[in-house]
Structure 1
Amino acid sequence: MPGVGFYLNQKLLNAVKSKAKKERVAVSKIISKALESYLFVDERRLAKEKLFRLIVDKHPLGGKEGWEKLHKERTMEDENRN
C-alpha cells in the first residue's frame, strides 16, 4: 500500500492512538477503516433502501407492518439472550 501523509488535530490523533493501543491494531488500520466507512456510506444507504423497498413492495413478510412486527420480535429475543 502506498504511504499517505495528512494532518489530524491533536485530540483526534490521541483518540485514534488510544483506540489502536486498546484494540492492539495499527493506527493506519483504524484510519483506513474509518475512511472506507465514510466513502461507502452512500452505497450502504442505497442498499438498505433497496432491501426495504423489496420487503415493502413484494410483501414477503407481510409488508411494512409485518416487517416491523418481525423486527420487534427479533429485537426482544436478542435482548432476552443476554
Structure 2
Amino acid sequence: MPAVSFYLKKEVLDAIRARASSGNIPVSRIISRAVEEYLKTNEMHGARQRVMEHIRRAIEPSDWEALHRERTSADVDRD
C-alpha cells in the first residue's frame, strides 16, 4: 500500500492514538477505515441524489392536461 502524509489537529491525533491503544490496532488502520467510510457515505449521498432526480423526473408530468384527463377517466370507472 502506498504511504500518504497529511496533517491532523493534535486533539484528533491524540484521540486516534488513544483508540488505537485501547483497541490494540494500528493508527493507520483507524485512519484508513475512516477514509473508506467517508468515501462510502459520499458515494451513497450521490447515489441517493441520482435516485431522487430519477423519481422527480418520473413524477413530474410534462403534460398536466393529459394527466388530469387520465385521472378523471380512472375516477369515472370506479364504482
> Which bin holds the TM-score, normalised by the shorter protein?
0.5 to 0.7
- Greater Cα radius of gyration, structure 1 or 2: 2
**Aligned partner letter, 1:33:** R
Report the CA distance between 1:40 and its aligned residue. Answer: 1.2
Which structure is higher in RCO with an 8 Å CA cutoff and minimum separation 6? 2
Alignment of 1:10-21 (within 5 A): 10-21=10-21
TM-score (normalised: structure 1): 0.52
Cross-structure match for 2:41? 41
1:1-82 equivalences in 2 (<5 Å): 1-45=1-45, 46=47
**Count of residues paired in the alignment:** 48
Give the TM-score of the pair, scaled to structure 2: 0.54
Percentage of identical aligned residues:
40
Extract unaligned runs of 5+ from structure 2: 52-79
Q: Which stretches in structure 1 are left out of the alignment for 5+ residues?
A: 51-82
The alpha carbon displacement at 1:7 in A equals 0.4
Cα RMSD after superposing both structures: 1.6
Letter in 1 for 2:29: K
**What are the superposed Cα offsets for residues 9-33 of structure 1, whole Å, 9 maximum, x if unpaired?**
1000000000000000000000000
